[in-house]
């Protein structure tokens, strides 16, 4: 009896050591990932409906030279130093050995104009958005409380220890059952694999033969001159319709403004990191590189549609755009 108790104690100690080692490995992996990427959550609605308040976002660490027009970046507020902003890059310049960015939110109701603080230095750059997980940010916000963190740690630790102990106690029983039920399990796995292949083939076939509807419609346009930066730009509100099969979606839009003589006046990019289906109304800023702004502008639109096998491009040319002063 005493030897059984000693054996149980040794087993529990071994389990605890194994749990500590596993948690150490997990911590090391998280730390190594953290050196390349950051995880944050969206606390405001300035990027809606592209990205929503409460979304969990994954950011990659990039240098300023890698940031392109249309990228969504996180940066430290140039004036209020303890606030981080998630906005889209609408312009970029290199001056006095540093990169600077003009930014703007996508929200068509709250963010018609570019950000009031003007050019943002590369010193304020925190990261570039690469992916989002909807609504998970609310969970992260809750777990910022130190008490909740400690409770979660204790729950996870206790669960892991109990799991190791229970697995050791039923190890022999499982070994016998697995031997007896192996043929039945293999048959079940084969049936499951066949079912998955059939369903997958059906989905792919439907995606290929289903004609999706992908369109962009101009809702409103404003010609704005920003006195702080001495920049003239178009604030364009677009209605983006993406109604394809599950695997298809609009993922990027490039807008090119031309004057009546077909000279390029400026370019803007809108992109999204996930497939969406339905209609999104967004606001985009397009800087005009011209000393004299014409009375009317032609807008070329390229729609990039991501499907199962490739990215298709749909082009809409010569959309008349008559800007107006705000």
> Cα–Cα distances in Å, from 225 out to 50, 101, 187, 285?
26, 17, 70, 12
87 a catalytic residue: yes
What's phi and psi for 153, nearest 5 deg?
-60, -45
Tell me how far apart the alpha carbons of residues 150 and 162 are, in angstroms, rounded to a whole number. Answer: 18
| 15 is a catalytic site residue | no
Residue in the structure block whose two tokens are 């090391």:
28
Out of 109, 123, 188, 190, which one is annotated catalytic? 109
On the CB side of 66, CA atoms within 13 Å amount to 11
Rg of the chain (C-alpha set): 27
- In what helix (H) or strand (E) does residue 323 lie, and over which residues does it extend? none
State both tokens at 319: 């959309």
Catalytic residue among 55, 71, 87, 283: 87
Of 272, 254, 262, 259, the residue nearest 315 (C-alpha): 254
Our answer to whether residue 46 is catalytic in this structure is yes
- DSSP lists the bridge partners of residue 215 as 241
Active-site pick, 46, 221, 235, 249? 46
Residues marked as catalytic: 46, 87, 109
């Amino acid at each position: 009896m005493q030897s059984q108790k000693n054996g149980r104690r040794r087993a529990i100690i071994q389990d605890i050591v194994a749990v500590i080692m596993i948690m150490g490995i997990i911590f090391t992996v998280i730390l190594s990932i953290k050196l390349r990427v950051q995880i944050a959550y969206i606390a405001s609605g300035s990027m809606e409906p592209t990205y929503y308040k409460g979304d969990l976002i994954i950011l990659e660490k990039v240098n300023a030279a890698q940031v392109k027009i249309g990228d969504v970046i996180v940066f430290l507020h140039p004036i209020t130093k303890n606030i981080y902003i998630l906005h889209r890059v609408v312009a970029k310049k290199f001056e006095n050995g540093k990169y600077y960015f003009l930014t703007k939110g996508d929200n068509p109701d709250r963010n018609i104009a570019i950000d009031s603080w003007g050019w943002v230095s590369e010193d304020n750059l925190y990261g570039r958005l690469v992916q989002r997980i909807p609504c998970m940010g609310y969970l992260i916000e809750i777990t910022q409380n130190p008490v909740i963190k400690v409770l979660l740690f204790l729950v996870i630790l206790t669960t892991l220890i109990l799991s190791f102990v229970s697995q050791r106690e039923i190890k022999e029983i499982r070994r016998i059952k697995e031997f007896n039920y192996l043929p039945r399990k293999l048959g079940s796995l084969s049936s499951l694999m066949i079912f998955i292949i059939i369903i997958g083939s059906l989905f792919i076939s439907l995606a290929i033969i289903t004609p999706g509807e992908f369109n962009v419609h101009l809702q409103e346009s404003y010609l704005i001159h920003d006195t702080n930066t001495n920049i003239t730009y178009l604030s364009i509100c677009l209605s983006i319709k993406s109604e394809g099969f599950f695997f298809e979606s609009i993922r990027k839009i490039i807008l090119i403004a031309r004057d009546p003589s077909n000279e390029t006046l400026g370019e803007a990019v809108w992109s999204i990191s996930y497939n969406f289906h339905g209609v999104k109304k967004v606001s985009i800023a397009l800087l005009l590189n011209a000393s004299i702004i014409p009375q009317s502008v032609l807008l070329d639109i390229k729609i990039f549609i991501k499907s199962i096998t490739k990215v298709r491009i749909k082009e809409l040319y010569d959309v008349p755009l008559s800007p107006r002063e705000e």
